[in-house]
Amino acid sequence: MAQYLLAVMHDDDYSDVDFQSPDMQRIVGQVSALNEEAQKTGVWMFGAGLAPAASATVVRSVDGQVSMTDGPYAETKEQMGGFWIIDVPDLDAALEWAGKCSAACERPIEVRPADG
């Protein structure tokens, strides 16, 4: 079995999302159902939503000196809004699950194999 990161990509600032709106309630329900399916089939390892990139703290260690700065590391329009880590036989299975994830959260999904 191989582990894959399925990253939910957002192309907007989602800090002001109304989680009580009908659209968000539908998406939350779809993602919850997908999570249950992944757990029942045994591919689920871990998953979580993330706070917006603006809430990040970047920590750097250079020559024994640690510095911290507020905000995201990368200046980019797209940001990772959540993720799943799954354990599946191969890339084809990961891509199949990524399709299900994209349908559930209604966002693009980036698939990356985990090394090691």
pLDDT in tens, 48-69: 999 888 888 989 999 999 999 9
- Fill in the amino acid letter for 87: D
The ranges assigned to domains in the chain are 2-113
Structure pTM?
0.85
Q: Which residue, among 9, 10, 83, 98, has the nearest Cα to 46 in the 3D structure?
A: 83
Hey, what are 63's tokens? 């020559």
Q: What is the mean pLDDT of residues 23-30?
A: 95
Query: What pLDDT score was predicted for residue 34?
Result: 97
Instruction: Report yes or no: 111 and 104 within 8 Å, Cβ to Cβ.
Output: no
Q: What DSSP element (H or E) covers 27?
A: helix 22-41
Evaluate whether the domain defined by 2-113 bears CATH number 3.40.50.2030: no
Q: Taking all residues of the chain, what is their mean pLDDT, rounded to a whole number?
A: 90
Where residue 76 falls among pLDDT bands split at 50, 70, 90?
low
pLDDT of residue 103: 97
